[in-house]
Structure 1
Amino acid sequence: MEALLIGIPFLIYIFLRIRLGNDITPQEYDEIIFKEGVDAYKSADYLTAFRYFDAEVYEYPKSSTAYLYRGKCHYYFENWEAALADFEKSMRLDNSLAETFYWKGLCHYQLEDYNLSLFELKRSSRMYLDKNAEVMRFVGELEFRKADFESAEKSLKIAAELGDNKSNILLQTLFYGNIRKASS
């Protein structure tokens, strides 16, 4: 009898909690708050987006999304070190964003630090569960640079299976021989 008195209200509470709970992630919530800046970034108005997120970083210092988008704007302006600092700050605030690892890897790639770039891009690919063709192509390119040809071929094949045409071209030219054979 006591179990029913405790159990039934508890089950009602759990049911209501699930039905009325907040199903939105912190990043989705931030993107709603920063809709103006995100729209400016997506429409390739990087200067407006940068100004917006630069102001929002001071207003919302604990928002990893604001740092992520400000870092993306820095990346577009080819300010690699500032972008890297913003991506690191974003990762310190929320290390569950695969996109942050991807952009951080691209910054290291632009700075020609290929080992760190490969490390960050592999972390990103694990978070995307190897379902992002761009990430897998970059991983394949970096593994090829490090002369790890088997892993490079495997990564490029995964990217090609996901529909990346650049990976198909790289596979054909790097591993399957040139399409046009040089006449001797």
Structure 2
Amino acid sequence: MEFLVVIAFFGYIYYLRNYADLRTPSEKEATALSEGIKLYENGRTGDAFAYFDSKIRQKPKSCIAYLYRALCQKELQNPDAAIADMQAGLSYDDQVFPLHLELGKLYFEQNQPDKALVALNRAVALSEETSTDAYHWRAKALKQLGREKEAMHDAAHEVELKAVLSTNPQTSTTSKAPFFDKRLAINMVMIVMTSVLLVYVIKNAESIHLPYLVAVFAAISIGFVEPYRGWLLAVMQCILLVAGYFLLTSRPDDRARQELENFSLYGSMILTFAASFLGGFLKRALNMK
């Protein structure tokens, strides 16, 4: 138990040291590449291109470096190279809104509205109603494809969204993903099974070590499958442990055995919260790489 507490403590310190920053990987990249971004924004396209070209050689999976090298290529009248860079950036991270938006704009400007529409559809989905640009350019692509009604709808929504954002830039009219979904329901079933296993181990183990070990592995699994909603599954597992133990099993007559089971039960509950917490951070850390 003491060993697990030490691991939990140093794990928390390690998290604060390395992963407390909740920005996305692309946002961190943009901050790290701010020098080159300023060069591009100040019109020093040649210098910016050299900067981002160097960064890509150093870090070949930097999607933001690919984005800005592509923008430089576009300014230097190399549209094919720009498209190739944007596609390379998306191959490493397809969740970056500006990459989809700029790729869609470039396809539109190259008179490829079909490809532009695909990229801009993705840009609209990723924008989460925080930018009007995706709607603006998608309306243009739809119009070029002769889909006038849809183009007018996007143009009208662009005006509406612009008014909303001017009033409150943080407002978003996009409905967020529901908290309770099919994945969470499936994971709740998993929690029922691990809770049954834990109660069985608590009732039959000869020491506290096996219940604690099972609790740690079960809780780490919680953190991995649900790095953001794991707290709910941890609460659910603790409730099921208490309910299952006190309502579905009989208390031992031997006092020593009863104390052993109590230590195993309450210790497992504590470890459920600690290990699920660490499991969630470990999953997020792996996702950042």
Which of the pair has more CA radius of gyration? 2
2:98 alignment counterpart: 99
Give the 3-state SS of the residue equivalent to 2:60 in structure 1: coil
Q: Say if 1:45 and 1:10 are closer, same or farther in 2 by CA, change over 3 A.
A: same
1:114 alignment counterpart: 113
Deviation at 1:116, TM superposition (A): 0.5
1:158 alignment counterpart: 157
Contact 2:49 2:72 in 1 (8 A): yes
Aligned counterparts of 1:53 and 1:16: Cα–Cα separation in 2 = 34
What are the superposed Cα offsets for residues 43-74 of structure 1, whole Å, 9 maximum, x if unpaired? Answer: 22211101111122112112111111100111
Aligned ranges 1:46-61 → 2 under 5 Å: 46-61=45-60
- Identity fraction in percent: 21
Q: Which amino acid in the other structure matches residue 52 of structure 1?
A: Y
Q: Say if 1:134 and 1:32 are closer, same or farther in 2 by CA, change over 3 A.
A: closer
Aligned counterparts of 1:52 and 1:102: Cα–Cα separation in 2 = 22
Aligned counterparts of 2:7 and 2:94: Cα–Cα separation in 1 = 34
Q: Which amino acid in the other structure matches residue 91 of structure 1?
A: L
TM-score (norm 1): 0.76
Contact 2:113 2:142 in 1 (8 A): no
* Structure 1 gap segments, 5+ residues each: 165-184
Deviation at 1:146, TM superposition (A): 1.9
- Answer yes or no: is 1:22 the counterpart of 2:55: no
Structure 1, 139-148 or 98-107: larger mean CA deviation: 139-148
Contact 2:129 2:161 in 1 (8 A): no
1:89 alignment counterpart: 88
Aligned counterparts of 1:48 and 1:77: Cα–Cα separation in 2 = 12
- Bigger RCO of structures 1 and 2 (CA < 8 A, at least 6 apart): 2
1:79 alignment counterpart: 78
Paired positions, count: 161
Aligned counterparts of 1:60 and 1:124: Cα–Cα separation in 2 = 25
TM-score (norm 2): 0.50
Aligned counterparts of 1:160 and 1:36: Cα–Cα separation in 2 = 34
Aligned counterparts of 2:107 and 2:133: Cα–Cα separation in 1 = 16
Aligned-pair RMSD on alpha carbons?
2.4
Contact 2:123 2:134 in 1 (8 A): yes
* Structure 2 gap segments, 5+ residues each: 164-289
Aligned counterparts of 2:86 and 2:56: Cα–Cα separation in 1 = 13
Contact 1:80 1:110 in 2 (8 A): no
Structure 1, 82-91 or 122-131: larger mean CA deviation: 122-131
